[in-house]
Structure 1
Amino acid sequence: MVKGAHWSLKASLMARCSDDNWKAQLPWVLLGLRTAPRSIGEPSLAKNNSGETIAMPGEFFPASSNENNQTPERIRNALSKFTLCHQTFNDTTKTFRHQDLRTCDFVFIYDDAHRPPLRHSFKGPYRVINRNPKAYLLLIHRRGDWVSTNRLKPAVIINNEQFKENTIKE
């Protein structure tokens, strides 16, 4: 979460600042990140925390006809340019899932740890006990353990009965 917040802060500062004056723009960037919706159809962080939309700085100063003091008018004009921006990027990347993964009885688990040369990338096969859209409950060393479907590959067992006997005796 911190890495994602740091990325969005850095990207916002780079988009807002064209010179080295990023310190002056930091409060406006932070306000924008706080009031912008997280994704399409979701409320902003401020609305999630307080239950209300946060007042933008341009709303603090009411319109006045006083021409003698130009400072509030200048501030009002500068702050009225800040509006809520809507998120335009939505991550829709799809990960590959083998079609047989939904119906198979046994799966292999991808081992993403560092391994020496000529070592297998997958461990298993392990029996599938329960399925969810994002994770499967597997029987691993006589214990049930949930594993993400991104790490699974269906196992094709030729002689099911003989393999079932061998896995129970472990």
Structure 2
Amino acid sequence: MQEFAKKPTAHRHPLPHGTLTLTTNASSMVMCAVLEQDTDDCCQLLAFFGKKLTSVEQKYSAFDRELLEVHRTIHHFHHMLEGRQFVMQRDHQPLVRSFAKTADAWSAQQQHHLSAIAEHSCTIKHLKVEPLPTSEEYRYLFTIINRSTRWPKAQPIWQQKAESCMKALIGWVSRHGVPYIITSSSWGVNFMSTLWNSLADNLGAKIIHTTAYSPEANGIIKRLHRSLKASLTARFQGGIWRKELPLVLLGLKTSPHTALNISPAEALYGQSLTLPADTFQHTMSPASPSDNRKAFERIMPAKATYHIARKVYIPNELQNAEYAFIWVDAHRIPPHSPDYLGS
């Protein structure tokens, strides 16, 4: 296994009649892409591309970052894409629709990027983010993480409903006790239901919903999802991810966390968990009291980190206002209902 991991990724030679597929993705910090060719037998890797965004580019809107990433990726692979039909796969739906838009409300930079992309014979397709493939009748994961110890939990569930999430939360409470505050998403209907809120009231926990359009409000769980998906992808074989999940969680629990400088297991239990490789090692001599004191001094709850410093504007008049209008950020029935509530 170690010898296989040391081998470099095999790149194929491009075929003159192979169907080219360019898959791209951009975050707030970097952009990356992979170029592949589809043959009769399988999909073969041709090349990678990655670049860090500048401080100015990081302030672009999501649409401008995605458009910039597509433009740079095509320019990077222009010697392989020039004069050939290829497919561009994106997970950003507004960018896919932008090429069919007839309005002229574009900035000069957007017009330049769109016109440069239109010079190539490419078909842009939306890459849907699908749920997990069904594994032993499971299709979803209910994820929880403790803010102090960074201890993660991923519970497979059959369906994405409030009843399933409630059972998974009760399983967490039975092992670790009732949390004082529960931070949940504000987009899922299951987290906004009466059943979910009544469960928190009966447990004596306080529920805080994340702010709309602000994924950084619960960035700790987003980073867990990123690590969890990367680990499951690395061990994904035959579609049975349910059997790989316990070992993946064991690796996340025993790996040092950047916010703690120790593993979540050490922060929770005061010592590291026994791994399979540890059973083949010789027993160690017991630690002295001074060593134990130093070890416990390292195990301190992690402080909340704020990666984005954003100023929220609150008018001074709002403190003394008798009435206020609340914007309805949801589908309105009937369609011509007022956008705001209040009087």
TM-score range, shorter chain: 0.3 to 0.5
TM-score, length-scaled by structure 1 = 0.38
TM-score, length-scaled by structure 2 = 0.22
Query: Which one has more relative contact order, counting CA pairs under 8 Å at least 6 apart?
Result: 1
- Structure showing greater Rg: 1
